[in-house]
Structure 1
């Protein structure tokens, strides 16, 4: 029997990281499996060289998505061509709703026999539950993060597997004291500045986080800011940091976990990073801002959840303060972060809530990529032998 062929598609940094973990998990189980795909630096590091660029695909918001639509469509068609040339038995499309949906359709048109798997579904519990029907129409299987997502797919006939939260499962315990010692910051209180991984977030969210950090530092000389930069936005953030007047250091992915463990409080752009910070037990406040039109439509008509932070959604209460759209003001961020810095009871309460949320999110479950690899192989084993690649 010929080895299975699996094509992996990731359109943004978080999907690229999870895709790389999936590659390693699949190879560990089936060393002869043949893998290819579309992704970024993390997938390239495990030997998946992408012939389609994912630069510019990481967008969020209605008007922002429309502006990038031409690029998204072109890359989706190119992804379809790449998959057709590879002739996969299965295709795993990770996160990145708009791009992967178009890529899935392009692949289906060219390789109709391939099993299409959506890994990390749309947040139907938060906005647009009707997308569950779209997923069922386009894909052959769904791997989702949370148990509470499953009921949204009842009646669709789509097989759904819960793989858990990737950020929770990949958690490492950071060396906060070691980080402080290496950076010469043992006598400082550290404010983490986490500006996001998308260009739009750097434009719309980072300025308020930066101003909040400036306000905190102006009031307390013992504070030092640690900005943790995602590779996708490192260049524009370094340019912004050149204008900061408050004491700061910039660190990258290699120091991320240790930095999170070292922080006394975090000013965070909403996203996966909030879960990563919670895993180190560091209190935080978060903010987010979409373009004005996108934000108005989503917050007033599409958002079904009371919260946007998964930690708060898991708890069904506001443990991590959220500042959205016009409420994303530096003064409000600084005030909320100040409570966590200077009121021990407030910090302790949030830390306890974070631990509770992480337990609900499957902190002690097997890694998401491991569970996903098992599910991919099970799907392949149940399909007719090599109906695509033979």
Structure 2
């Protein structure tokens, strides 16, 4: 027998660690406005800690690159078919796909066709490449929630609906960063060189980037013998992969501290950060730290992506500032020698760092909004008024 309930059900799907963090923030903001919410879908560790019911393993979706996705495509398609069927059965009041557009927009399209309101939280980088996607996205979802101020107009021009909600990291991270306090927390001396290594939040990124970053660290250690290196692990899976790589004899002597998450603390404590291109570059900027951005993917994926990119930079800080404020060393340029030289250039010229920090402070102010509350209000606004009535629950 079916029971009746007034419990509001919000379905959320995330594909990686950064989406998991956004999801956790969104859940807390939604509960502040509506305590009677059930959250279900695909989520990570942070969302589960908030009481999320994850029907599938989020880590299985955490893959980047054309070739890499092809390898896992059967498993990913199986999960997508499963979550669509599950959510059509559950009949949530609203669906929110957080980032992972290649997965989530397909889910949203099917749920929207089934009469479930849908939103996509975090616009794909349509301003950078494959801009024609905008015309499809506006039909797949009811509304797009954008993290950057230049994005909504693209959807409005295509006849869709979109809203700038700011970036949650700009809201949660302090405008002023205390390096001394961060070092004290991590047990690091104040006057030694400290470099942070952020090779990525996906295991597929780790495989490409971590060995190069560790080889770069060895070169930096030769130049700065008292240097220390910090390495935040985004997930349990990436920690296992990083630990296995560090067990190799060539890296055994690295004076390195690995942390569970805490990337903001790690970046704040560092003099310079070596970071894989992606959301993490913005986090480094909000920590007001100089960085060197790098990226390597399979040659086939790189050839495909390079033809599609419509902007001169790949790093978010450079894109948002409209110039190459920090160096980008990609693909064939992502060698330990070039990366070590670029990191050393920042460390040896503190006056350059001071100017960069002011640029990053202005960027922080631009992106600082009450993001989670704005996103939560937008999500609730898409739910039909009749959801407040008694309705059957799923079996």
Alignment deviations for residues 108-154 of structure 1 (CA, whole Å, 9 cap, x no partner): 45xx1110111112100111001111111211111111121122223
Whole-angstrom CA distance in 2 between matches of 1:5 and 1:40: 18
Whole-angstrom CA distance in 2 between matches of 1:148 and 1:184: 41
1:256–1:147 distance in 2 versus 1, CA, 3 Å? closer
TM-score of the superposition, structure 2-length normalised?
0.91
- 1:317 aligns with 323
Whole-angstrom CA distance in 2 between matches of 1:297 and 1:195: 22
CA contact (8 A) 1:8 1:38 kept: yes
- 1:306 aligns with 312
Alignment deviations for residues 280-325 of structure 1 (CA, whole Å, 9 cap, x no partner): 22211110112101101111x1001111111111111001111111
- 1:69 aligns with 73
Q: Secondary structure at 2:150's aligned position in 1?
A: helix
Q: Secondary structure at 1:154's aligned position in 2?
A: helix
Whole-angstrom CA distance in 2 between matches of 1:182 and 1:91: 39
CA contact (8 A) 2:194 2:228 kept: yes
1:89–1:181 distance in 2 versus 1, CA, 3 Å? closer
Higher relative contact order (CA 8 A, sep 6+): 2
Whole-angstrom CA distance in 2 between matches of 1:107 and 1:12: 21
Whole-angstrom CA distance in 2 between matches of 1:181 and 1:359: 27
Q: How many residues align?
A: 381
Unaligned runs of 5+ in 1: none
Aligned-CA RMSD value: 2.0
Kindly report which structure 2 residues correspond to 1:137-286, keeping only aligned pairs within 5 A, or say none.
Answer: 137-172=139-174, 176-186=179-189, 187-231=191-235, 232-243=237-248, 244=251, 245-253=253-261, 255-286=262-293
- 1:29 aligns with 33
- 1:182 deviates by 4.6
Q: 1:373 aligns with which of 367, 376, 382?
A: 376
TM-score of the superposition, structure 1-length normalised?
0.92
Q: Which moved more, 1:201-210 or 1:98-107?
A: 98-107
CA contact (8 A) 2:143 2:162 kept: yes
Q: Which moved more, 1:117-126 or 1:241-250?
A: 241-250
Alignment deviations for residues 140-196 of structure 1 (CA, whole Å, 9 cap, x no partner): 111111121122223432211111112222214665334433544214210111111
Whole-angstrom CA distance in 1 between matches of 2:72 and 2:391: 33
